[in-house]
Amino acid sequence: MKTVACIVQDGFAPFEFGVACEAFGLDRSDDGIPNFDFRIVTPEPGAVSSKMGFSINVENDLAFAYEADLVVVSPVPHQYWARTDERVLDVIRDAVARDAWVLSVCSGSFVVAAAGVLDGRKATTHWMYAQKMAEMYPKVDVDPDVLYVQDGRIITSAGTAAGLDACLHLLRQELGAELTNKIARRMVVPPQRDGGQAQFIDKPLPATTSLSLAPVTDWMLDNLRLDLTVEQLASKAHMSPRTFARRFKADFGATPAAWLSRQRIIHAQRLLESTDLGLDRIAYESGFGSAAVLRQNFARVLGTTPTAYRARFSCTTDEREMADAPTSAEARVGASVLEPVA
């Protein structure tokens, strides 16, 4: 992915628009991160008004979007949902037809749905608008309870900060986990909140998330090699296995075993990117036991092999020396909000 077009229209939301600019428009070459040719586009170049009462001057029409590797769709106000500019819809249809990425933030999913490319697919939007979207577009499988959904090369996200999660999710697929973690650290946000499922569906943290399990999850992350059982973990939490499993699922949206499996995948990704260790050693360090089990989990969760992943995302020796490894605290902030494969 080298080129990114961000579509804005009258009434755009400044924060969500800024998310795209922050994720794809900044020069981070000093951190060894490739720059994107990022351009803001609109149907009619000139002043484009925001919903906050100010305007920005956009110089580019939609021509660049027809060639972009990624088309980002910013949110539009509800009065435009049923009458989106046909020129914008054509851009989105063209992007899907040529297998480019399409990413919408918040109510931008209404624009993508209006193009007809979400029919028969899973999608999401801000939870306040999910019912309306389901009513307007009954052929779309709308999930109101997730941060973002990837279906094919279309990513739709929920409101506001969930757009950052969706952008980072896409960047991990294009740049790998190590470089994306650098971007996240520059943004001062958790580096990973991916679901790891076939369509990469993330559930938001419940408002009642307890901190009582933090020491246990910290210990799990420090002991990925071990064959951990619910009984062991419950004992460390001073709970019965049944209570522990129920509390863990309520707090993290997954069973302890599923959450742990996802952390092992993430650790293996980091080792593949930043070390020259063999697959057997990486499998041992990550708790998978053997290279064969590691391969099975990579194929199931990431749709690729460890060897192919390393070939695409491995840092060079010089890059590894320049890279700042994430601290254990940063790693745990990201891991604590992960919802793994069920």
pLDDT at 190: 67
pLDDT at 325: 41
The reply to whether the predicted model has a pTM over 0.75 is: no
Using the predicted structure, report yes or no on whether residue 339 has a pLDDT greater than 50.
Answer: no
Mean pLDDT computed over 44-72: 96
Cα end-to-end span (Å), the chain: 30
CA atoms within 13 A on the CB side of 138: 1
Strand 141-142 to strand 3-7: parallel, antiparallel, or no bridges (unpaired)? unpaired
- What pLDDT, in 10s, does the model give residues 137-148? 999 999 988 889
Between CA 328 and CA 90 the distance in angstroms is 46
Using the predicted structure, report yes or no on whether residue 336 has a pLDDT greater than 90.
Answer: no
pLDDT at 235: 93
- What pLDDT, in 10s, does the model give residues 284-316? 999 999 999 999 999 888 888 999 888 877 764
pLDDT at 84: 87
CA 76 from centre of chain: 22
Using the predicted structure, report yes or no on whether residue 24 has a pLDDT greater than 60.
Answer: yes
Using the predicted structure, report yes or no on whether residue 95 has a pLDDT greater than 80.
Answer: yes
DSSP characters for 29-56? GGGTPPPPEEEEE-SS-EEEEBTTS-EE
Cα dihedral 300, 306, 308, 310 sign: positive
CATH of region 3-187, choose from 3.40.50.880, 3.40.50.1100, 3.40.50.300, 3.10.330.10: 3.40.50.880
Report the mean per-residue pLDDT for the chain. Answer: 84
CA-wise closest residue to 39 among 11, 16, 67, 13: 67
Structure tokens at 272: 């593949």
DSSP characters for 78-124? GGGTTS--HHHHHHHHHHHHTT-EEEE-TTHHHHHHHTTTTTTSEE-
Q: Could you tell me the CATH superfamily of domain 208-342? A: Homeodomain-like (1.10.10.60)
Binned at pLDDT 50, 70 and 90, residue 270 comes out as confident
Domain ranges of the chain: 3-187, 208-342
- What pLDDT, in 10s, does the model give residues 192-248? 554 333 334 444 444 444 557 888 988 999 999 999 999 999 999 999 999 999 998
Q: Is the model more confident about 78 or about 101?
A: 101
